[in-house]
Amino acid sequence: MHSNRTRFVLFLYAAALSLAATRGILAADDAPSAQPDVKKFTLQYKFKPGEVIRTQVLHRVSLDTTIAGSTQTAETTSGSVKVWKITDVDPSGKITLEHSVESVDMRQRVTGREEIVYDSKSGKAPPQGYEAVAKSVGVPLTQVTIDTSGKVLKRVDKLQNTTTDGQNNQMVIPLPSGSVAIGDDWNLPNDVTIQLEGGETKIIKTRQHYVLEKVSNGVATISVATQVLTPVNNPKIQSQLIQRLTQGAIKFDIDAGRVLSQQLELDERVLGFNGVDSSLHYLGRFTEDYLPTPAKTAAKAKPAAK
């Protein structure tokens, strides 16, 4: 009797130990695994005084306008070489640069009209309407001071006809102020002024939305898209907004601290902007590519005098 009771107690004890061990295993399985450290990247502009940064810019636009059954197509191609001359970098990293355009090659074709061409390198006088463009080639246009994230601290326009449009004011691609991981995002707000009938204006709030998509071999790929924050249901207002609704990608060299390239695409259509049968179809592509400084070749030694 006593022996049976002892065996029963030992059985209960062993069962309790087994249950405790099972619970321990389950608890270990249910416990959250240690999360690996998320790698973060610091994106900053890094220039040196005296540097000259040159980029090739190409902007292509096609606009089909249909009103009362008649369609007109306007095509514009604009190529230019943009130049940044770095004039100063202070100890805190603030960069002062001088912006100019080295050359332009512009072409415009409209249905039923002769093509207009202007190439600043041809030496020919600019066609009518391109005089201001010709005067802006090869001269300082803007002096800008930015911080390492690209925030504009000071801007001085050198020419009276320099545009003050908010979209064109974005000379520098904004970077996040702190370190970011893959998938992190940041925004640049932008108010767009729309002209209404009767001379009135309306402010439409938009923003450029940036996301760090990936980093490969020291080059960050950043996606960008324009987002309209103000609700817009009026086709006449939409027709003035569509040319700003770009999206694309930017390549940024993290170690060198500069943009290598950017490409923005646009494909938007608006119906009923000027009557029931009216429509606008806007196609556009903007590209900018960094032009490395040509390597200097060593001069050949002069032969020794005999």
Domains of the chain are 52-291 (2.30.230)
Q: Which long-range contacts does 204-209 make (Cβ < 8 Å, 24+ apart)?
A: 204/228, 204/230, 204/232, 204/237, 204/241, 205/229, 205/230, 206/230, 206/241, 206/244, 208/170, 208/174, 209/185
> What does the pLDDT look like over 26-78, one tens digit per residue?
344 444 555 568 899 999 999 999 999 999 999 999 999 999 989 999 999 99
Residue found by looking up tokens 């405790």 in the block: 20
**Mean pLDDT over all residues of the chain?**
86
- What pLDDT does 167 receive? 38
> What does the pLDDT look like over 153-210, one tens digit per residue?
999 998 765 433 333 456 899 999 999 999 999 999 999 999 988 889 999 999 999 9
